[in-house]
Amino acid sequence: MDSGVDALHADIGPKWRGGSNSWFDPHYQHATPFDASGHGTGVMGLIVGGNAGGFDMGVAPDAQWIAVKIFNDQDESDFGKIHQGFQWLLDPNGNQSPDDAPDIVNNSWVLQGTEGECLGEFADDISALRAAGIAVVFSAGNSGHRSDTSMAPANDPTSLSVGAVDSSQRVQRFSSRGPSACDGGIYPKLAAPGKDVLTAGLTSNGSNPTAYTFSTGTSFAAPHVAGAIAVLKSAAPGSTMTEIEAAIGDGALDLGTTGPDNESGAGLVDVVEAYMLLAGSTPSDSDQDGVPDSSDQCANTPAGEAVDANGCSASQRDSDGDGVSDAQDLCSGTPSGTAVDADGCPVDEPPTSGSIVVTQASYNASRDKVNVRATSDLGKQAGLSVTYNLANGGSVTTSMSWKNKNSYWESSIRRFARNYGAAPVSVTVSGTEGAVSAPVQ
């Protein structure tokens, strides 16, 4: 359920199930698969994309897809159209036999302005899909980094909400946090890659059938989980969707604080561990310390050393996170981010306090160019980056360049909407001293 799909893409088109029961446009703009913005195409590429252009892309490249174009060509919709989409998915051919409903429904969208609110508008729709044994995956939203920023309908208790991490398994600032405004439960429920992920781009009416793009946002984390469920459904066909979802949660790689939390949920999706749980296998324990690899924060524990719940022995434990084990740390309790020597004691370092001022955040629509400038009390030591918050709900984060002559930081991007699918509406400039947001003029 998205903006549509560009079926002319070589990695996506051949995976379409085809027929009148495999495409639904409640706006009645397109009788066959189409995507004006590229958002839905990028999402679908991460679920079923192959490697037609030489790069592996999708999680479940042998799966088939159907789609509901809940957003029109202007990226607009209303509750009625979305309800129609949910209802169509329960019985696409309108004739209960044969059963042609999907196994998994990916929803890389949220209702804007619902941060920290529980809106039950689509609760019955989601419950109906769940009752039919259909997994319902939602992007968690891009309203972080504060807590209590869960968004509807992803915070519906029966939805599988997904937050975003980068390639270093760090939860992204933009990724919405819990607890869920609906039931106070953990939110999001899982985490998956959602920063600068390679996926399918629009083909320009087929002229570039292997178009690629890099996308950022929880919209692109959710399809990783949808694809994972598809793989597990194929690998363990006798398992119910409830069992598959439970295995994904139990097999996830724990991130941050021990156990489920309101930043990354149960952790980073791990398809292999989930499959082993479904197959009744014992989760892998490479260093044989009694702690599964998915929860082991200290790999390769020396043989015979006792470990804690995180799989860390006394010689490995690093309570203050400064990179020096407790056994060698002569200065315990070092504040996070402080540079330390081999003994774990602070060393001289550049100042880390100051303030950021955004002096310019402009977008020239006719030239499709965005320009952001900012200053910092730390000058060229600030190492600033900028997150562009897009009109379609996504976001893009890039580093900024230091302009020594003018003593400011700058980010300038041409063909912005063309590359990222939407214009920027606001920016957040971040550095060691914090972050500041500003609207784009």
Would you name the residues annotated as active-site residues? 2, 39, 219
* In contact, 308 and 326? CB cutoff 8 Å: no
* In contact, 283 and 251? CB cutoff 8 Å: yes
* In contact, 331 and 344? CB cutoff 8 Å: yes
Respond yes or no on whether the N-terminal peptide bond of residue 193 is cis (omega within 30° of 0).
no
C-alpha triplet 52, 56, 59: angle, nearest 5°: 115
**Which ranges in 69-122 belong to alpha helices (H)?**
79-90
Tell me the two tokens of residue 5: 């799909």
* In contact, 309 and 315? CB cutoff 8 Å: no
